[in-house]
Structure 1
Amino acid sequence: MESKGSNLIKLLLLTQCLTVLCVSQDFDFFYLVQQWPGSYCDTKKSCCYPSTGKPAANFGLHGLWPNYNDGSYPSNCDPNNPFDQSQVSDLTSELQSDWPTLACPSNDGINFWTHEWDKHGTCSESNLNQHDYFEAALKLKQQANLLKALKSAGINPDGGSYSLANIKGAIKDAIGFTPYIECNVDTEGNSQLYQVYLCVDTSGSNLIECPVFPRGRCGSDIEFPTF
C-alpha cells in the first residue's frame, strides 16, 4: 500500500509536468526578423542564390519567432505537425520573393521554410495554424518596409558606412516602433547591417514595442553593403 506522502509526490510531479507542457506552448510576443541579403552573402561563408534566381535587392524574411518577456524562447514545440507545403501552396510565389533562401547549396527554399515552421511556427499553433503563420509574416513584412524607410532617410545599400543611431531612428520614424539591429562582419572584418528585429503581438497582426531586445551590439557606424 502506497503512503500518502508517495501519492503526494507523484501528484506534484504530474502537476509540474503539465505546467511545463502548458508553458512550452505559450509565448509573450513574436520577433519579426528581416535580413539584408548583401550582408548575408558578404561574409567568409558566402551564399548561394535560390534555384529561382537571385533575389531582389531588398530585405528578406528570416522568421517570425515566438519569445518570452524574459528573453528566452520556446522551440520545436510540436514534432507531430511538420511543415506541409500543400498548406501554403497559394503563398509559394510570395515566399520565394519575400522569404528567399541564401543557403548553400542552391535550393528552392522549402528546407528554409520547413526549419522555420518546425522550430518556431509550431510554438505559435495556439494562435496561428501553418498557413496563418506564413501569411502573417508576409503581411508584416509589407507593413514594415525597411528598405523604403532607410532610403527615405538617405541610407542606401551602397557599401557606405552609416550611423547606427540614424539607422534605428529612420526605421522608428517610418514604422513607429523601435528596432533592434543585428550586425555581422564582412570578409575584411567590418561590421555591417545584417538583421532587423521588430516585435509583434501574439496574434501575429500588430507591431508593438519590444519587451526585450536580443543580446549583442553593433559599432556606432556600420556598413550597408550592396547586393
Structure 2
Amino acid sequence: MHVFLDTQWPGSYCDTKRSCCYPKTGKPAADFSIHGLWPNYKDGSYPSNCDPDSVFDKSQISELLSSLQKSWPTLSCPSNDGISFWTHEWEKHGTCSESELDQREYFEAALKLKEKASILQALINAGIKPNDEFYHIEDVKNAIKEGVGFTPGIECNVDSSHNQQLYQVYLCVDTSGSEFIECPVFPRSKCGSRIQFPKF
C-alpha cells in the first residue's frame, strides 16, 4: 500500500468548474493546495470509509485551522469554511491509513508533505510560471522531479476554450505519511504534450 498526496492548482479548478467560490476566509493564495491524502493499493484501487465510527471532530484540529485554511482551502460553492470538505476527506480516506494515523496526525501529515514538496517553487525555479502560457508536460514533470526528488503524476482539465491545463499533481508517500516515494502506479492522465498553466 502507498499514499497519494493529491494537490491541485486553483486557477485550473476555477476554469474547469462552471463556478468556484472563494472560501469565507477570502481568496486563497496562488499556490497548489491539498486535495487529499489517499491510501491506495498497488493495483490502483483504494479503500474508503474504513471506520464508520470515526467521525470528524473539529476540536481535534483547532490548532491546525489557520494552516488548513491556507494550504487545504475549499473552492466549492456556495462559499464555506472548509469543514465539510475536510470531514469528507477524513471519513472517506483518512480513516484508511494503514499506519492508523489519528485525525490530527492525518491532517498534520498532509500539511507537512505539502510544505516539503513545494511544487510551485520547483516549477518557478525551472521557469514554469502560472501566466497562461503553455509548457511541455515533460518539462513540468522534470521540474517537479528535480525539486521533490520523485516522479509526479499529472492530471489535466480542459477549459472552455479546449485548452488542456495543469490541474492536479500527485506524489506518492510511504504508509507512515512522512516520506515521498516513487509511485508504483498513477491515476490515468488525460494530458496532451503541451499544457497551459493558468493564472489565478
Decide: shared fold, TM above 0.5. yes
Aligned to 2:150: 177
**Which TM-score applies when normalising by structure 1?**
0.87
Aligned to 2:95: 122
Aligned to 1:136: 109
Q: Output the aligned Cα RMSD.
A: 0.9
Letter in 2 for 1:34: T
Tell me the distance in 2 between the aligned counterparts of 1:103 and 1:125.
29
Aligned to 2:26: 53
Give per-residue Cα distances to partners, 1:25-79, cap 9 Å, x unaligned: xxx0100000000000012522000000000000000000000001100001111
Letter in 1 for 2:12: S
Aligned to 1:215: 188
2:138 to 165, 168, 192: 165
2:66 to 81, 85, 93: 93
Give per-residue Cα distances to partners, 1:131-181, cap 9 Å, x unaligned: 000000000000000000000000000001000000000000111000000
5+ unaligned residues in a row in structure 2: which ranges?
none
Residue 193 of structure 1: SS of its match in structure 2? strand
Tell me the distance in 2 between the aligned counterparts of 1:43 and 1:141.
23
Q: Is the 8 A contact 1:178 1:210 kept in 2?
A: yes
Matched, 1:71 2:44: yes
- Identity across matched positions, percent: 69
Task: Give the superposition deviation at 1:127.
Answer: 2.6
Q: Which moved more, 1:121-130 or 1:74-83?
A: 121-130
Tell me the distance in 1 between the aligned counterparts of 2:188 and 2:143.
21
Higher helix share: 1
**Which TM-score applies when normalising by structure 2?**
0.98
Matched, 1:201 2:174: yes
Q: Is the 8 A contact 1:64 1:120 kept in 2?
A: yes
Q: Is the 8 A contact 1:44 1:187 kept in 2?
A: no
Residue 7 of structure 2: SS of its match in structure 1? strand
Q: Is the 8 A contact 2:99 2:175 kept in 1?
A: no
Task: Give the superposition deviation at 1:189.
Answer: 1.6
Larger radius of gyration between Structure 1 and Structure 2: 1
5+ unaligned residues in a row in structure 1: which ranges?
1-27
Tell me the distance in 2 between the aligned counterparts of 1:161 and 1:142.
26
Tell me the distance in 1 between the aligned counterparts of 2:162 and 2:86.
30
Residue 222 of structure 1: SS of its match in structure 2? strand
Runs of 4+ in 1 over 6 A off after TM superposition: none
Tell me the distance in 1 between the aligned counterparts of 2:198 and 2:8.
12
Tell me the distance in 1 between the aligned counterparts of 2:155 and 2:19.
18
Tell me the distance in 1 between the aligned counterparts of 2:141 and 2:98.
32
Q: Is the 8 A contact 1:127 1:202 kept in 2?
A: no
Task: Give the superposition deviation at 1:215.
Answer: 1.3
